[in-house]
A and B are shown apart, each in its own frame.
Chain A
Amino acid sequence: MGYSDKVIEHFRNPKNMGKMENPDGVGTVGNPVCGDMMKIYIKVEDGKIVDAKIETFGCVAAIATSSMTTEMAIGMTIEEAKELSRQEVAEALDGLPPQKMHCSNLAADALHKAIEDYESRQT
């Protein structure tokens, strides 16, 4: 079926889209099967994500989950952000059509990769 109003709202007015100068961590996920791609940038202070930006090449759900994932991630501790799952993102968007669940997976994966990148820079 169609997208929820929340999804459309985030698609219409996506938050935190674009590049970031001097990020503390960057995560890129791409899907070799269908070609979607996301690149997320995070800024971390005192173990907390204080800013996030994301670039997305993908469908409406991918753009909306990008927007929602970054919104949710900002303000979270690194540990909390590691736990952020696609279900939570999808729920926050009042659900996604079943065939679009994988898009929210991409955004969460990208975030987790950015955290990995951040952590690897700390040592």
Chain B
Amino acid sequence: MYAAVRINEIICIGCKKCIYACPDPNVLSFDEETRKVSADESRCKGCGLCVSECPKDAMSIY
């Protein structure tokens, strides 16, 4: 893994904008109970589109 997204679950408001912005399938998922987004880092290519779209700065690429 070279670069991948990390989500701060405390800040995430579950708006799903990142999910609609990700060019790769099955990377980001939405938990309907906690209403938070989580990432499968092994599938992430680290493009950062989700970071650009997140209105709360809850995501970063490391």
Q: Do A and B bind each other?
A: no
Which residues from chain A sit less than 8 Å from chain B, CB to CB? none
